Amino acid sequence: MHLTEKTLSRQEKYNDRYFLASGSWFWWSRTIVANKPDIVVIDRSERHAIIVDITVPHDENLVKAEKDKQFKYLDLAREVVDMWDVNTAVVVPIVVSANGLIAKSLDQHLRRRSLGSWIKRLIQKAVLLDTARIVRRFLSQEP
């Protein structure tokens, strides 16, 4: 059974080569506990899938959070290979601590995808700005 238009709750198609789904609840041929990653990218010409999940843990839990995300989506990666008729599916956890620390493995994932370090800076900036916004809002509350 291959993925059809009806099996996605929200989807975006970019062109004939790439398919991008974000914020979607996927329906699979069997029960999968972790079936809602943040982003799924399918490269139809290379027959390759990338499952991306983003998390913002405390500094101390950076490595643990990364390993948890890798393990959490293993079943989903296998199911993506079967249903989308791709050769490989890789799980890319984007783990950035609330203070902007990034797991070392993100560099490896970015190099394999031919993405420069500019994206890493954007991710860090987004997390730090959001952390600052949360702290400002908390400090401005009256007792």
**Structural domain of 61:** 5-139
Token digits of residue 70 = 């890798």
Domain count, the chain: 1
Characterize 24-56 residue by residue with b for buried, 16 or more Cβ atoms within 10 angstroms of its Cβ, and e for exposed: bebebeeebeeeebebbbbeeeeebbbbbbbbb
Structure tokens at 74: 């293993």
Give me the pLDDT at residue 24, please. Answer: 62
What is the end-to-end Cα distance of the chain in Å, rounded?
A: 57
**DSSP structural state of residue 98:** T
Task: Give the residue with greater pLDDT, 101 vs 143.
Answer: 101
d(C-alpha 109, C-alpha 92), whole Å: 7
Is residue 6 pLDDT above 80, yes or no? no
pLDDT digits (tens, 9 = 90+) for 43-59: 888 899 999 998 888 88
For range 92-109, the mean pLDDT: 86
List own/partner pairs for 72-75 with CB under 8 A and 24 or more apart: 72/34, 73/34, 73/37, 75/32, 75/33, 75/34
* Segment 13-38, tens digit of pLDDT: 567 777 777 766 566 666 777 777 88
pTM for the structure as a whole: 0.77
Which pLDDT value is given to residue 25? 59
Nearest Cα neighbor of 54 from 43, 72, 66, 63 is 66
